[in-house]
Amino acid sequence: MSTFQAPKGTYDLTPPRSATFLAVREAISAPLRDSGYGYIETPGFENVELFARGVGESTDIVTKEMYTLTTKGGDQLALRPEGTASVLRAALEANLHKAGNLPVKLWYSGSYYRYERPQAGRYRHFSQVGAEAIGTEDPALDAELIILADQAYRSLGLRQFRILLNSLGDKECRPVYREALQTFLRDLDLDEETRRRIEINPLRVLDDKRADVQKQLTDVPKLRDYLCDACKAYHEEVRALITAAGVAFEDDEKLVRGLDYYTRTTFEFVHDGLGSQSAVGGGGRYDGLSEMIGGPELPSVGWALGVDRTVLALEAEGVELDLPATTSVYAVPLGEEARRVLFGVVTELRRAGVAADFAFGGRGLKGAMKSANRSGARYTLVAGERDLAEGVVQLKDMESGEQTAVPLTEAAAELAKRLG
Ligand code: ATP
Ligand code: MG
């Protein structure tokens, strides 16, 4: 070990576990790429004001969890705590919404930073794959995203996840509900901070995890009873479309989520094997966000799935991903001359598209064969002085154990053929 360790709340991804992370990112993004979503990448930091306005001044993310910094030039920046505000900012800046092709469908994958209390499944640096569909109000779009996330989790082999669904109303009906909620909450026995929250962001109080708070919320006014007809119809259509797709969900009228920008459809994916950090992903519709960051009216919907927690969920369910071995051929030279010759064969194989590796460092046969085994290679190529004198290499099938001498000049072609 060196003098240094990964900073508090972070961890390194190293082989072999890192391969699972790559496979999860791939599995989550594949259904998006197949459904018209284009890849977008934005900087790891943004102007702090973007998140203050776009995520919301009253959210935990902005008040407590952001890594902010002042540059030497005096700019106020923040490491990105989430993806939606950045992606929308970038889409507006590139005028993607003006290309006359709405919705603008984008997917992204990257690192996010939140100054949180580190726990299992809760880190200060974590990884998300996300999707945003910008500029269209259509219940089929909300349904599409929920169905694609479900498809992604299922393709990984996850089964113990549930989809929680709610509607948060829109700018017509939400304010009416907000006031009724505030009136109800003001009469409860709550601490100072929660009382302040009632005034700034009362919906968040519904999300309070404490039992003594939840007990007082038994008769809290339900948003469902306040939804306007347009919101009700929209929500029913989303529910009907995902039901028709065979995707099971649970109505959860207390689901509000931590970000200020959500309107109408909100959803969360929870996994029952993860203890208290049970949310593996979440999202919803954010019709007002574009205007909040100075753009035109662009009703949009999106989600972000946490890669770290998805990997933990796989481990909790005992799902082993079927990851193909990365090396197909492993070359073991015995002696200087064989080293030169086999290194040439390995290069030739790689150029022919065959994944090949080599026993570097002039190790003995035993150690090199151990590495060959560990590499997962289907074939090894072994050559010593005698083989070279006869113009052959020994080709060993690691599955059957069968070994055959193959003319050196035909080795690469023979392997390419056998590997299909
Ligand atoms: P939580 O309620 O657990 O704090 P959140 O509502 O803050 O989650 P989102 O902002 O919706 O989470 O982010 C989407 C996903 O990103 C989460 O469902 C989770 O899988 C992941 N995520 C969020 N924060 C963290 C974190 N600190 N460490 C690891 N993963 C995280
Ligand atoms: Mg959080």
pLDDT digits (tens, 9 = 90+) for 210-261: 999 999 999 999 989 999 999 999 999 999 999 999 999 999 988 887 666 7
Model confidence at 2: pLDDT above 90: no
Tell me what pLDDT residue 7 has. Answer: 97
Q: What is the CATH number of the domain that holds 45?
A: 3.30.930.10
Q: What's at 311, amino acid-wise?
A: V
Identify whether the C-beta of residue 59 lies closer than 8 Å to the C-beta of residue 89: no
Cα(146) to centroid(ligand 1), Å? 17
Strands 356-358 and 329-333: parallel
Which tokens is 387 given? 């083989």
Which residue minimizes the CA distance to atom 22 of ligand 1? 306
pLDDT at 190 over 90: yes
For residue 122, how far is its CA from the centre of ligand 2 (angstroms)? 8
Tell me the C-alpha distance between 238 and 319, whole Å: 31
Out of 238-242, 322-326, 373-377, 391-395, which region has the weakest mean confidence (pLDDT)?
A: 322-326
Q: What is the pLDDT of residue 258?
A: 64
Claim to verify: residue 236 and residue 343 sit in the same structural domain? no
Q: Are residues 284 and 403 in the same domain?
A: no
Asked whether residue 209 is assigned to any structural domain, the reply reads no
**pLDDT, position 163:** 98
Angle (CA) 28 33 35, round 5°: 105
Residue 249's pLDDT is 98
The CA-atom distances, in angstroms, between 333 and each of 108, 384, 388 are 44, 6, 11
Q: Give, for 234, the enclosing helix (H) or strand (E).
A: helix 229-244
272 and 414, same domain (yes or no): no
122 Cα: distance to centroid of ligand 1 (angstroms): 8
Per-position DSSP letters for 89-137, written without gaps between them? HHHHHTTGGGSS--SEEEEEEEEEE-----BTTB-SEEEEEEEEEES--
pLDDT on residue 51 = 95
Residues with CB under 6 A from ligand 1: 82, 114, 116, 121-123, 126, 128, 257-258, 277, 279-282, 304, 306, 308-309
Report the mean per-residue pLDDT for the chain: 94
Query: Is the per-residue pLDDT at 144 higher than 90?
Result: yes
Residue 4 CB burial class (10 angstroms; 0-12, 13-18, ≥19): exposed
Report the pLDDT averaged over residues 268-288: 94
Burial of 86 (0-12, 13-18, 19+ CB in 10 A): buried
Is there a single domain that holds both residue 333 and residue 301? Answer: no
Q: Is 5 a member of any domain? A: no
Domain boundary among 317, 347, 365: 317
Residue 199 included in any domain: no
Rounded Cα gap, residues 255 and 179, in angstroms: 18
Q: Are residues 289 and 388 in the same domain?
A: no
Residue in the block written with tokens 């796989």: 314
Confidence of residue 56 (pLDDT cuts 50, 70, 90): confident
Residue that finishes a domain, picked among 255, 283, 317: 317
Q: Which of 291, 317, 343 is the last residue of a domain?
A: 317
Residues 387 and 253 in one domain: no
Task: Give me the mean pLDDT over the 345-351 stretch.
Answer: 95
181, part of any domain: no
The minimum-distance atom of ligand 1 relative to the CA of 114 is 27
Q: Do 275 and 356 fall within a single domain?
A: no
DSSP annotation of 273 reads T
Residue 185 lies in a domain: no
CA geometry: angle 225, 231, 234, nearest 5 deg: 125
Q: In what order do the strands lie in the sheet with 250-251?
A: 38-39, 104-113, 125-134, 300-306, 279-285, 263-271, 161-167, 250-251
pTM of the model: 0.93
Domain enclosing residue 334, as ranges:
329-418
- Using the predicted structure, report yes or no on whether residue 139 has a pLDDT greater than 90: yes
Whether pLDDT at 115 is above 90: yes
- Asked if residue 246 belongs to a domain, the reply is yes
What mean pLDDT is predicted for residues 336-343? 96
Task: Give CA 376 to chain center in angstroms.
Answer: 28
**Number of domains observed in the structure of the chain:** 2
Q: Are residues 138 and 287 in the same domain?
A: yes
Q: Give tens-digit pLDDT for 120-133.
A: 999 999 999 999 99
pLDDT for the residue 260: 67
Q: Across residues 286-296, what is the average pLDDT?
A: 93
